[in-house]
């Protein structure tokens, strides 16, 4: 579970892993209608030899950047959903559609300056420019995901490279708590419904994972100079198409969604597809591997997942609001708005702080925030609480796939994919009925169908424990109701009025 994201501080001067900012790199969101047409995208600059822009407005924006940061390189963080071949002759920023413009993803700039000695003054001055909506440092996110040590069974620790009968029984216990086996009998899933997994990547060739996993991609772009004393491990240098996991966290989440059965219970997403994106690379801290990525890495990966038409996105990362300054923008705001505008269902881990606080993206409106319970439906002490938490799922000593075998993991990071899998099954069931399912309806169904906690008077952990079968049954009843159909028609009528009004 990620922590981090504080006001700008140079990574080289930090004595803690959670307070890094990428030196000389900033994210600026312009106001609607202010993006110049010919600012190139980050992908065009990194993959196709296009030169970044060195000026934006020829006025106050450029003068402030030069004054505080020296020479400047500017590009758009995101590509448009519409490709050049689909709209010949339409250049750059003009290809972004209404959803991209209104959510803000079309208006995010990635800016790199020559120096960052006056970084705070630069951001304060840029924030005052009329065309600017917000500005922040491109912070590094560190991911000490686990609230307890990971226990692994690998060829080195176990000659059979398998889990024991006791382990297998415990693995099934977490799935039975959520009624996932029964739910898969009710709705097996559909390959056309795809879950996006924004994480450390996956070990796609793991023998315990299904063939429903798509190739995916990688948006990690880090250099040693960006992370101070932290040691980078493996592939961190540039975007590519290989989401190879070098930490184990993403592979663990993937097993909960897409295990093929056998030693592990079948994955909760059933026959639905899975597209992994590696938004977090690997770093070494106290001889332990951790996930590490920049805000720009994460948001770029999220935007591309959405444009690939995934229906559900699992986000087992987060940033505590308490780690942000009073005036810092909330992280991931644009991509969350964009996903919801596309009816993508977002599921996020609530956090592992054990206190009542907001973590983002889980605390963003419209995101399904998931806390953790043990296998007896008792909330875990480490699970972050709050009014924004929707419900809980198993997150203590969960058996799943590991880097070289199997691992037993703990944390809200591993509760979230249980719920993401249920959302995928719900989307598949709705599609089977030729009816739409959006994030708001999915969240309501999950909350209403959740089973009670083991003890009474539990507060701050949501409505209860996810019940996959009950959620599907309630969804089926809801799809049958005239109220649901009338509600969809009303939404369509309202949309038509807004488009023609």
pLDDT band, very low/low/confident/very high, at 9 (cuts 50, 70, 90): very low
Q: Poorest-confidence range of 60-74, 84-98, 418-432? A: 84-98
% of residues, the chain, pLDDT over 70: 86
Tokens of 100: 């991209």
CA angle 213, 217, 220 (to 5 degrees): 135
Residue 472 has pLDDT above 50, yes or no: yes
CB-based contacts of 50, cutoff 8 Å, min separation 6: 40, 44
| Mean pLDDT confidence for 109-128 | 93
Q: Taking residues 48-72, report their average pLDDT.
A: 93
Q: Which residue has the higher pLDDT, 166 or 184?
A: 184
Q: Compute how many other C-beta atoms are within 10 angstroms of the C-beta atom of residue 459.
A: 10
Which one has a higher pLDDT value, 151 or 372? Answer: 372
Contacts 24+ apart (CB under 8 A), 455-459: 455/378, 458/379, 459/385
Peptide bond into 58 cis (omega under 30): no
CB 384 within 8 A of CB 316: no
Residue 379 binned pLDDT confidence (cut-offs 50, 70, 90): very high
- Comparing 262 with 305, which gets the higher pLDDT? 305
pLDDT at 196: 98
pTM above 0.75, yes or no: yes
Stretch 360-374: mean pLDDT: 96
Residue whose C-alpha is closest to residue 334's, from 40, 111, 121, 103: 103
In eight-state DSSP terms, residue 47 is H
CA proximity to 4, closest of 382, 380, 317, 337:
317
38: left (phi over 0), alpha (psi -120 to 50) or beta: alpha
In sequence order, the 6+-apart residues with CB closer than 8 A to the CB of 56 are 36, 39, 62, 65, 74, 109
Q: Are strands 151-153 and 312-315 parallel, antiparallel or unpaired?
A: unpaired
**Segments in 308-402 forming alpha helices (H):** 333-341
Q: Residue 127 and residue 111: Cα distance in Å, rounded?
A: 14
33 sits in the region (left: phi over 0; alpha: psi -120 to 50; else beta) called: left
Q: Under a CB-based contact definition with an 8 Å cutoff, are residues 217 and 451 in contact?
A: no
pLDDT at 215 over 70: yes
Contact 439/344 with Cβ under 8 angstroms? yes
145, pLDDT greater than 70? no
Of 287, 302, 207, 269, give the one whose Cα is nearest residue 422.
269
Instruction: Give the mean model confidence (pLDDT) for residues 209-215.
Output: 91
Q: Which positions are catalytic?
A: 199, 249, 413
Q: Give pLDDT, residue 238.
A: 63
Tokens of residue 53, six digits:
């822009």
Mean pLDDT of all residues in 206-220: 92
């Amino acid at each position: 579970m990620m922590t981090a994201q504080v006001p700008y501080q140079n990574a080289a001067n930090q004595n803690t892993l959670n307070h890094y900012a990428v030196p000389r790199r900033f994210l600026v969101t312009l106001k609607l209608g202010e993006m110049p047409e010919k600012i190139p995208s980050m992908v065009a600059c990194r993959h196709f030899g296009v030169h970044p822009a060195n000026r934006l407005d020829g006025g106050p924006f450029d003068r402030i950047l030069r004054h505080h940061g020296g020479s400047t390189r500017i590009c758009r963080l995101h590509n448009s959903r519409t490709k050049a071949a689909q709209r010949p002759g339409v250049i750059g920023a003009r290809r972004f559609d209404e959803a991209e413009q209104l959510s803000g993803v079309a208006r995010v700039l990635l800016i790199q300056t020559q120096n960052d000695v006056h970084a705070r003054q630069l951001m304060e001055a840029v924030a005052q420019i009329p065309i600017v909506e917000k500005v922040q440092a491109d912070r590094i996110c560190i991911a000490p995901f686990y609230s307890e040590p990971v226990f692994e069974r690998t060829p080195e620790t176990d000659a059979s490279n398998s889990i024991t009968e006791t382990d297998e029984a415990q693995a099934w216990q977490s799935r039975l708590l959520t009624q996932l086996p029964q739910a898969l009998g009710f709705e097996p899933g559909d390959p056309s419904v795809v879950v996006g997994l924004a994480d450390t990547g996956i070990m796609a060739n793991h023998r315990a994972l299904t063939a429903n996993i798509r190739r995916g991609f990688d948006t990690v772009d880090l250099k040693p100079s960006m992370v101070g004393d932290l040691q980078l491990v493996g592939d961190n240098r540039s975007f590519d198409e290989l989401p190879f996991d070098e930490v184990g966290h993403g592979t663990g989440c993937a097993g909960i969604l897409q295990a093929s059965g056998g030693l592990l219970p079948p994955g909760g997403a059933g026959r639905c597809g899975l597209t992994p994106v590696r938004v977090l690379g690997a770093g070494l801290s106290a001889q332990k591997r951790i996930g590490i990525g920049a805000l720009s890495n994460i948001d770029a990966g999220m935007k591309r997942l959405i444009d690939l038409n995934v229906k559900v996105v699992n986000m087992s990362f987060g940033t505590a609001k308490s780690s942000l300054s009073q005036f810092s923008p909330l992280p991931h705001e644009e991509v969350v708005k964009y996903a919801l505008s596309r009816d993508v269902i977002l599921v996020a881990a609530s956090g592992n702080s054990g206190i009542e606080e907001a973590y983002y993206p889980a605390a963003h409106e419209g995101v399904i925030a998931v806390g953790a319970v043990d296998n007896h439906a008792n909330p875990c002490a480490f699970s972050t609480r709050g009014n924004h938490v929707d419900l809980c799922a198993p997150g203590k000593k969960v058996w799943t796939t590991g880097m070289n075998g199997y691992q037993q993991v703990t944390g809200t990071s591993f509760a979230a994919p249980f719920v993401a899998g249920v959302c995928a099954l719900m989307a598949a069931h709705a599609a089977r009925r030729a009816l739409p399912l959006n994030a708001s309806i999915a969240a309501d169904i999950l909350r209403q169908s959740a089973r009670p906690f083991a003890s009474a008077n539990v507060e701050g952990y949501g409505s209860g424990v996810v019940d996959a079968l009950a959620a599907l049954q309630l969804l089926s009843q809801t799809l049958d109701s005239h109220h649901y159909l009338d509600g969809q028609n009303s939404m369509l009528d309202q949309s038509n009025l807004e488009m023609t009004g």
